[in-house]
């Protein structure tokens, strides 16, 4: 098993109103990641992922592209230590 980590991201661009959260959830679940995703009042999307670092890098690459109809201008990332306190992956409102 690979090294585990936590990844906190803020995604800017046309990321609200294009099902970014739902696609992020589906992508994270398909990769076996735990965490959450939510819209922010300033138009960004925030997400927290936890899992194997190699899988997190794959998820991060997806975040730079996003789903169809979205446009990502910038992704801020913060790597954190793995805590193991997240269960499943969900959309937070």
Residue 2: pLDDT above 90? no
Domain interval for residue 71:
4-91
* Model confidence pLDDT, tens digit, residues 14-45: 999 999 999 999 999 999 999 999 999 999 99
Confidence of residue 8 (pLDDT cuts 50, 70, 90): very high
3-state secondary structure of 73: strand
For helices 53-65 and 20-30, give the axis angle rounded to 10 degrees.
Answer: 150
pTM of the model: 0.96
| Percent of the chain topping pLDDT 70 | 99
Nearest alpha carbon to residue 33 among 58, 68, 66: 58
Strands 34-39 and 89-91, by their bridges, are parallel
Q: How many domains does the chain have?
A: 1
Known catalytic residues are 21, 39
CATH number at residue 81: 3.30.70.100
CA distances from residue 83 to 12, 15, 35, 43 in whole angstroms, order as listed: 26, 28, 11, 28
């Amino acid at each position: 098993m690979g090294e585990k980590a936590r990844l906190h991201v803020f995604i800017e661009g046309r990321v609200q109103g294009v099902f970014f959260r739902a696609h992020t959830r589906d992508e994270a679940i398909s990769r076996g990641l735990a965490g959450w995703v939510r819209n922010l009042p300033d138009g960004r999307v925030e997400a927290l992922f936890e899992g194997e670092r190699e899988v997190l890098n794959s998820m991060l690459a997806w975040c730079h592209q996003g789903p169809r109809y979205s446009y990502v201008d910038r992704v801020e990332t913060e790597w954190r230590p793995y805590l193991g306190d997240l269960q499943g992956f969900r959309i937070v409102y």
